[in-house]
């Protein structure tokens, strides 16, 4: 496997010297081991010049689906090649078999990464590992055309976002008689978690189907984990030698090494220098499920951390939303809010719970927030129209009704009720 990578020391020294953001972050730091370095603050990371040089080649993606404060991830051509090569090798360790016919139903366009990333990763699978035939259909394609393509080419594997694939299969259920030759044997999902009700819905449509994660990655954090035959729901293995994964205590930032203790996921990428990713919060909670001596150590995801919420495939960053709400309710003092995530009827729901001095539960206040959110998150309306998520819900509450950490008293910024 021919990839470009560096040692941790090389990445850190290069970032300190070339990146204005890391130069400032590390100016008083003596570095001997990874935990000596400060954790990246996502809010300042995206507002400061992070890149180590001018971009002359490569590829650029947008992360988070924002219009007000878009977040752009940059890769050189060699970095992108390394990213997709490693991830493709990880995919090959899962349920795919030689001669599988694979439909790529991820989404593409407007600098969105998932379709292109999966297409390139599948293409990078060494033929000596697995020989597959790929069909880059894309999720926005008409359901009728997708199913006709399934029939015409005897496609047996579909990959995509769970909520979008379920929407397609609900159409198939209603119109089954029109597509008698459709036979899906494997479903590989990514972009969002798969919840029990969604799993059950897939099984009801295709009782013998195999369902597994296509892998764990993001356009901002990069390589995070791969799924093999030993991984149960939510589990992944780390990519040894190309990514350093840490799980840390959410309150103390202590590095967690023991098993079955939940903490925040940090990632350090050893294949990227243009936009260094060093102790970057991935936005998820996880716990180790194997000992630290295990190669490609296994961990299990446990929901979202307090940096961001994941509404379907949409990343909703807490700090962005805090500023959006403050700008929408400028006359209200002492604003506090938290984001709550629920899942029912095969779809995610996001709730903003907002409290403030003399803030009353009036429809005009609720409308202001929803209008601002639609403007900020351009992909929200599209996901809503496609019935992939529930509508945003706004709850105006008293301060005492906001949930806090029982041990520290700190306000919980993101409450994920889905796990």
pLDDT value at residue 89: 94
Domain ends where: 272, 304, 336? 304
Are both 126 and 193 inside the same structural domain? yes
Rounded to whole angstroms, the Cα distance separating 87 from 80 reads: 11
pTM over 0.85: no
The mean per-residue pLDDT over the stretch 298-304 comes to 90
Domain membership flag for residue 162? yes
Q: What is the pLDDT of residues 56-68, one digit of tens each?
A: 899 999 876 555 5
Are both 152 and 240 inside the same structural domain? no
Are both 298 and 321 inside the same structural domain? no
Kindly tell me the burial class for residue 334, based on how many C-beta atoms sit within 10 Å of its own C-beta (0-12, 13-18, 19 or more): exposed
Domain membership flag for residue 3? no
Rounded to whole angstroms, the Cα distance separating 300 from 261 reads: 10
Residue 266's DSSP bridge partners are: 246, 281
Domain membership flag for residue 134? yes
Residue 86 makes CB contacts below 8 A (sequence gap 6+) with 1, 3, 223, 239, 242, 271
Domain membership flag for residue 283? yes
Number of domains the chain contains? 3
Are both 199 and 225 inside the same structural domain? no
Supply the CATH number for residue 298's domain: 3.40.50.12780
- Mean pLDDT, the chain, whole residue set: 91
Q: What is the pLDDT of residues 103-135, one digit of tens each?
A: 999 988 888 899 999 999 999 998 998 999 999
pLDDT value at residue 408: 54
CA-to-CA separations, 331 to 326, 358, 365, 371, 387, in angstroms, rounded: 9, 10, 11, 17, 35
Domain ends where: 258, 286, 304? 304
Rounded to whole angstroms, the Cα distance separating 229 from 95 reads: 7
């Amino acid at each position: 496997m021919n990839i470009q990578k560096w040692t941790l020391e090389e990445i850190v020294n290069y970032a300190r010297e070339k990146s204005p953001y890391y130069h400032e972050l590390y100016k008083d730091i003596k570095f001997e081991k990874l935990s000596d370095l400060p954790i990246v603050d996502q809010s300042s990371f995206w507002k400061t010049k992070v890149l180590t040089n001018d971009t002359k080649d490569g590829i650029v993606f947008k992360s988070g689906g924002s219009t007000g404060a878009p977040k752009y991830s940059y890769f050189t051509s060699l970095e992108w090649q390394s990213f997709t090569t490693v991830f493709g090798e990880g995919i090959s360790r899962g349920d795919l078999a030689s001669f599988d016919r694979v439909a790529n139903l991820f989404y593409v366009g407007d600098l969105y990464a998932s379709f292109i990333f999966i297409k390139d990763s599948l293409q990078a699978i060494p033929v000596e590992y697995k020989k597959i035939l790929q069909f880059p259909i894309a999720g926005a394609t008409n359901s009728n055309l997708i199913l006709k393509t399934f029939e015409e080419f005897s496609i047996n594997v579909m990959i995509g976002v769970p909520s979008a694939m379920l929407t397609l299969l609900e159409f198939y259920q209603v119109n089954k008689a029109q597509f008698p030759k459709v036979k899906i044997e494997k479903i590989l999902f990514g972009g969002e978690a798969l919840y029990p009700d969604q799993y059950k819905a897939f099984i009801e449509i295709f009782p013998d189907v195999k369902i597994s994660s296509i892998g764990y990655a993001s356009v901002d954090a990069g390589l995070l984990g791969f799924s093999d035959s030993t991984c149960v729901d939510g589990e992944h293995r780390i990519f040894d030698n190309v990514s350093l994964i840490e799980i840390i205590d959410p309150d103390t930032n202590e590095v967690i090494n023991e098993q079955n203790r939940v903490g925040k996921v940090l990632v350090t990428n050893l294949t990227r220098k243009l936009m260094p990713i060093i102790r970057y919060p991935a936005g998820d909670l996880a716990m180790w499920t194997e000992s630290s001596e295990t190669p490609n150590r296994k961990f299990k995801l446990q929901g979202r951390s307090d940096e961001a919420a994941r509404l379907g495939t949409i990343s909703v960053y807490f700090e962005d939303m805090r500023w959006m709400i403050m700008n929408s309710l400028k006359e209200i003092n002492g604003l506090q809010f938290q984001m709550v995530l629920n899942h029912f009827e095969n779809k995610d729901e996001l709730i903003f719970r907002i409290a403030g001095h003399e803030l009353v539960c009036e429809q005009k206040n609720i409308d202001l927030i929803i209008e601002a959110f639609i403007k900020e998150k351009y992909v929200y309306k599209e996901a809503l129209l496609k019935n992939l998520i529930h509508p945003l819900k706004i709850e105006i509450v008293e301060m005492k009704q906001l949930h806090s950490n029982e041990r520290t008293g700190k306000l919980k910024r993101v409450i994920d009720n889905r796990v």
